[in-house]
Structure 1
């Protein structure tokens, strides 16, 4: 065994000793921060796509109302008997109660 072979094996062990903590930190960040955030984002996108007329919603500003019109980007909600307000679809925070499904015509 030459001197270079001996230092090569020791150098390889030192590299793993340096790289392994970074790999472990990335794995912890992925499973504790990144993955849950991606899951939450998917759930929110699904909720925004499920909004339909008649749903009672709450906006991110805390305004409660009933959906009366929908487009791809906007939601018009009725706040009371005379007031309708237009919001971006992304401004919807939660669906409080869903409208009953409309039966198909026979």
Structure 2
């Protein structure tokens, strides 16, 4: 018999076995869904805090530019020949020369 079968055939009177299944489901949800999302959020926060003037970045809308000014809440992005746009810091998706973009642009067409 499998472990799951044993859990499903637990006595209807309750006991530790009937509590084991919800605890097991909670642990699976935590380790496969909640914890990775928390890690991803922390990485994004540390990336946005590490932005410096002069970095080439891409916004969440796909706009490429160079950071001219970095404030606590906003950044000033120079996009083309003096055109400057102010964005919220959360709108910066990644650096323009990140490995993910280099891998897709340097791959030769089949």
Q: What is the TM-score with the length of structure 1 in the denominator?
A: 0.77
Residue 46 (structure 2) aligns with: 46
- Does the Cα contact within 8 Å between 1:59 and 1:94 map onto a contact in 2? yes
Q: Would you say how many aligned residue pairs link Structure 1 and Structure 2?
A: 87
Residue 69 (structure 2) aligns with: 69
Cα deviation code 1:25-82 (max 9, x no counterpart):
0000000001100110110011001100000001111111000011100000000012
- Cα distance in 1 for partners of 2:45, 2:32 equals 21
- Cα distance in 1 for partners of 2:41, 2:58 equals 18
- Cα distance in 2 for partners of 1:15, 1:80 equals 68
- Cα distance in 1 for partners of 2:31, 2:15 equals 25
RMSD: 1.7
Unaligned runs of 5+ in 1: 1-10, 99-106
Q: Which runs of 4+ in 1 moved over 2 A?
A: none
Structure with larger Rg: 1
- Cα distance in 2 for partners of 1:85, 1:44 equals 22
Q: What is the TM-score with the length of structure 2 in the denominator?
A: 0.74
Larger relative contact order (C-alpha < 8 A, sep ≥ 6)? 1
Write the mapping of 1:1-106 to structure 2, written as runs, cut at 5 A: 14-97=14-97
Unaligned runs of 5+ in 2: 1-10, 99-110
